[in-house]
Every structure is written in structure tokens, then in C-alpha cells.
Amino acid sequence: MILPIVFCILIYLICAAVILPSTSSYLSMANIFFSDREKSFTKEHRNIFVPVEDTSETPENPDKPDIVKASSFVFPSYEDQFGELIIEDCQIKADLYFGDSWYVLGNGVGIYNGSAIPGYGRTILIAGHNNTYFNGLKHAKEGQIVKIRTNYGNYQYEITGTKITDNEDRSAYDLGKNEENLIMYTCYPFDTLGLTNLRAFIYAKYVSGPVIDKNS
């Protein structure tokens, strides 16, 4: 009678230790079912996102954006939820976090904390899972509008291009650029089952939104 139990445990351990790593594709497929689970806030995170009045679609003077003082709002800390990202043409609407940890990517999309937040005048690098929040990037096309709403202002960016490249390709982004630009990326192919070294980068240029005055 012990033999079947031992056999059962043995098989299970084999599955866990040997087969599991080589069956990531099937696990990803399983994710299609599991990814719709309730958001698991297994640890506390700070949500500082309070939408501000949306004037980004009709800016008073598009050539002269509003200025927002850095001291006038709560600057997001790591893993803070401080906004949302919307691309209507791609059916994307996701909570926006500062930081791109596994926790963040399990609950929304995240700005790499080694890049910048919207309005800072630098590169904004946003990551999202290809089988959940950024799956819609497969529909991204030049000219589409990306909306980012934050706790200090609303922004619009226009998609300018896409690039499929290796995740080690350092030329795909420039984190030292002193010009407001948005880069979103996710794993490629978009519907791939399992890990991949390829990334789809979606580039967008700044259209509207308040500029942060860093020195005030």
C-alpha cells in the first residue's frame, strides 16, 4: 500500500524538479487560465493615484505645456501605483506603477526606476507582460495615441515606431536621453508560450502634458 504513495510522491517530485523547467510553454498556456485571477496584493503597496482633471486632449496651448512643480505632488517611490496607461486602439488599460518588479508586472505595467516618470523630460521605459497587460501591443501602429494619467497630470504620446530585438540589445533604448520619450516593451512574439529573448519595443514621442519643474 505504501508503494503507490511513494510512487505518487516520486512522480510529483520528478515533475517539479525535472520536467517543470522544460515545460514552461505549457505552464504559460496554463497561465491563459490563471492570469485572469484576482489581483494578488499579497503585500502592501501604496496607491497615490488620484486622477486629475483631464485636459490633455484639449490643451490650451500645445506649444507651451503647463509646468508642474516637483514639490507640489507626491513623487512616486518604488512599487507605488501612481497612474494608469491607456491605448484605446490596442485595448490596453493598465495600472501604472513606479518600478518593474515581478510584483508590479503581476498587477499592471511598470516604469523602470532607472528611467524617468512622465513630464521629467527624459526616457520613460515601461514594461508589461506579453500575455496580460501588454498583449495588446501587438496591435500597436504608428500614429496611435498613448494616454498616461498620473497623480500630477495627464499625458499623451504618439507611437512613432516599433522594433523587435534581443533583450540584450542596448541600442533599443537610451536612458540618458535628455528629451521626453516613451518606450514600452514586452516579450515577443506577443502570444508566445514560454520565455523568449526577443522583445517588442514600441516607441512614442511626447505630445502633451505638464512639464515637471525639477528645481522647485
Partner 1 sequence: MKKTIKLISIAMLSAAVAVSASLSVSAAGINNAEQRILDELRTTVDMEGNMKTLPVQYINQAENYMNTIEISDADADTIISKIEDTKVFLTNTQAVKYDALTNAQVDEFIVRCNDIVGVINLKLLYDKSTRTVTVVDIDGNVVFTASNVGYNGNPYNDNPRQHSSQPGDDTSKPGGDTSKISPIDDNPIKNTGLDFNIPGVMSVAGTGVFLVSAAGVCLIKRRKSAVSEDV
Considering the complex, what minimum distance in angstroms separates the CB of residue 205 from partner 1? 20
| Joined grid coordinates for residue 16 | 517539479
By the rule CB under 8 A, 97 interacts with partner 1: no
**Rounded Cα gap, residues 56 and 211, in angstroms:** 12
Considering the complex, what minimum distance in angstroms separates the CB of residue 57 from partner 1? 28
By the rule CB under 8 A, 186 interacts with partner 1: yes
| Joined grid coordinates for residue 80 | 507605488
**Rounded Cα gap, residues 59 and 180, in angstroms:** 18
By the rule CB under 8 A, 78 interacts with partner 1: yes
Identity of the residue, 112 or 207, whose beta carbon is nearer to partner 1 in the bound complex = 112
**Rounded Cα gap, residues 213 and 193, in angstroms:** 43
What percent of the chain is helix, strand and coil (3-state, nearest 5)? 25, 30, 45
Beta-carbon contacts of 122 under 8 Å, excluding residues fewer than 6 positions away, are 115, 116, 175, 177, 178, 179, 180
| Position among 49, 56, 65, 79 found at the interface with partner 1 (CB under 8 A) | 79
Site residues for partner 1, 190-209, by CB under 8 A, read 192, 194-196, 199
Q: Using an 8 Å Cβ cutoff, are 215 and 205 in contact? A: no
Which residue reads 495588446 in cell numbers? 136
User: Would you give the distance in Å from CA 133 to the centre of its chain?
Assistant: 7
Considering the complex, what minimum distance in angstroms separates the CB of residue 64 from partner 1? 21
By the rule CB under 8 A, 115 interacts with partner 1: yes
Identity of the residue, 17 or 61, whose beta carbon is nearer to partner 1 in the bound complex = 17
Which one of the spans 71-79, 88-96, 144-152, 154-162 is the region binding partner 1 (CB under 8 A)? 71-79
Which residues are at the interface with partner 1 (CB under 8 A)?
4, 7-8, 11-12, 15-16, 20, 24, 27-28, 30-31, 34-35, 37, 69-71, 73-75, 77-79, 98-101, 105-106, 112-117, 122, 125, 127-132, 134, 167-168, 170, 172-173, 175-176, 185-187, 192, 194-196, 199, 212-216
